[in-house]
């Protein structure tokens, strides 16, 4: 007798229902035989849950507030570990209560594996919480001991914390899937490795920026608020991120420079200089005699001495009569200002210039400006070309 497709489908459904009914009947018989053990299991689990709630409330409402009044940071560390630590109580209660029941088939094995996986997850969660609070503690200490490098250290610590968290979750997941549940993930990891290479190749600029951030933070070449110049970009650093550095130019433009570009380029940090050596040139007229020239050099040295609060102690001002230019006698020299910001330096330079102009004027020393003297030779007719032009214009 040949069965049709409809009859075969009906036969399969009947067989499946029969197997389920048989299995349910088996579990029903098992529950009847182990009713007392199941009752003890439920009571043990319920007791563990009550104990968990009691301990958690005790920690949150009594112990941690008292500890926070004396040691705030220590209370935050213990508070972060309170939740994963107290969760171990119901896990232990379920595990101990399960030994009083004889579970059928592989149910006991699956239960133990699940409890162990939850235990590992709690350990990972506790480790992550501890790392988070340790990071905050270190950042706070950096703020107290080294305020200038606070932003840079905070960024480096946050980046390290994120990478450590990612590594913990990845290795924890692999451990749970392979060592606890027995899943073979070697092929999956190989495929993920190939996929990772493809992603890394496609995102090589992003990875380069990430390593560039490590290079910038590790070298501590500059920090937020510094005046730097790299390539054609110059300005004040406003932010150092994982992808780029934001620089505010002096004309107000905000520029976003990738970290990999800065890491491979020459960077000049003007804020880290120990002093400012500024070049000055003062041009005097050719009518200036040597007595006034000596007096001008003396005045410039006196100004450097009078502005000693803005100068380096060991070096202040050094000037000399250097050039005889086309239309001036040039005094050339340098002034060494102490460490200051770019705006303070501009103000100090302006102050030096103002004082120079004031004292030169008081001593009758004149500044030169570009001039040209033209000598016109007389023509053979007796009158120079210039005189002819003047006569012509007067006639008109």
Q: Please report the beta strands in the chain, taking only residues with DSSP state E, as ranges in sequence order.
A: 227-230, 233-240, 244-248, 254-258, 267-269, 275-284, 317-324, 329-338
| Strand order, beta sheet including 267-269 | 254-258, 244-248, 233-240, 227-230, 267-269
In three-state secondary structure terms, 336 is: strand
The answer to whether 86 touches 56, Cβ cutoff 8 Å, is yes
pLDDT tens for residues 212-259? Answer: 777 777 777 788 888 888 888 888 888 887 788 889 988 888 888 888
pLDDT per residue as tens digits for the range 313-337: 777 788 999 989 888 899 999 999 8
Taking CB atoms within 8 Å and a gap of at least 24, the contacts of 156-159 are: 156/214, 156/217, 156/218, 159/213, 159/214, 159/217, 159/242
Rounded-to-integer distance, Cα 249 and Cα 257, Å: 12
Cα three-residue angle 177-181-185, rounded to 5 degrees: 40
Alpha carbon distance 334, 279 (integer Å): 5
State mean pLDDT over 157-164: 73
Q: What share of the chain is helix, strand, coil (3-state, %, to 5)?
A: 65, 15, 20
Q: pLDDT digits over 18-68, tens only?
A: 554 555 455 556 666 666 767 777 787 788 888 878 887 887 777 767 777
218-269: which CATH topology? SH3 type barrels. (2.30.30)
Topology adopted by domain 275-362: Alpha-Beta Plaits (3.30.70)
Q: Is residue 278 helix, strand or coil?
A: strand
Could you state, in order of their start, the residue ranges of all structural domains in the chain? 22-200, 218-269, 275-362
Closest CA to 102 of 54, 167, 157, 34: 34
Is pTM beyond 0.75 here? no
pLDDT digits (tens, 9 = 90+) for 82-122: 767 777 777 777 777 777 777 666 667 777 777 777 787 88
- For residue 390, is it left (φ>0), alpha (ψ between -120 and 50) or beta? alpha
């Amino acid at each position: 007798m040949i069965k049709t497709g409809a009859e075969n489908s009906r036969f399969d459904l009947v067989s499946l229902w029969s197997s389920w009914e048989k299995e349910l009947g088996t579990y029903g018989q098992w529950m009847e035989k182990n009713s007392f053990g199941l009752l003890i299991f439920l009571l043990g689990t319920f007791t563990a849950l009550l104990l968990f709630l009691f301990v958690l409330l005790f920690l949150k409402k009594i112990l941690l507030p008292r500890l926070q009044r004396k040691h705030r940071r220590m209370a935050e560390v213990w508070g972060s570990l309170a939740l994963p630590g107290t969760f171990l109580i119901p896990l232990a209660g379920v595990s101990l209560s399960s030994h009083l029941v004889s579970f059928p088939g592989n149910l006991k094995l699956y239960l133990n594996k699940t409890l162990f996986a939850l235990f590992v997850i709690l350990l990972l969660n506790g480790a992550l919480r501890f790392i988070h609070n340790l990071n905050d503690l270190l950042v706070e200490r950096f703020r107290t001991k080294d305020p200038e490098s606070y932003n840079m250290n905070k960024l480096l610590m946050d980046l390290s914390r994120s990478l450590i968290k990612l590594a913990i979750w990845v290795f924890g997941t692999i451990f749970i899937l392979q060592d606890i549940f027995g899943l073979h993930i070697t092929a999956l990891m190989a495929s993920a490795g190939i996929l990772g290479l493809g992603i890394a190749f496609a995102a090589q600029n992003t990875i380069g920026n990430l390593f560039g951030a490590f290079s910038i933070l590790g070298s501590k070449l500059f920090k937020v608020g510094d005046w730097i110049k790299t390539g054609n970009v110059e300005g004040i650093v406003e932010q150092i991120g994982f992808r780029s550095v934001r620089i505010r130019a002096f004309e107000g433009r905000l520029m976003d420079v990738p970290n990999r570009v800065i890491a491979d380029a020459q960077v000049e940090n003007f804020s880290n200089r120990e002093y400012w050596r500024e070049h000055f040139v003062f041009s005097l007229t050719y009518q200036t005699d040597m007595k006034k020239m000596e007096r001008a050099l003396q005045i410039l040295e006196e100004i450097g001495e009078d502005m000693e609060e803005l100068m380096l102690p060991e070096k202040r001002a050094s000037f000399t009569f250097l050039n005889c230019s086309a239309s001036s006698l040039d005094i050339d020299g340098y002034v060494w200002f102490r460490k200051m910001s770019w705006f303070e330096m501009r103000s100090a330079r302006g102050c030096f210039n103002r004082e120079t102009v004031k004292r030169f004027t008081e001593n009758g020393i004149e500044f030169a400006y570009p001039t040209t003297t033209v000598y016109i030779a007389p023509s053979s007719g007796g009158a120079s070309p210039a005189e002819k032009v003047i006569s012509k214009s007067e006639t008109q």
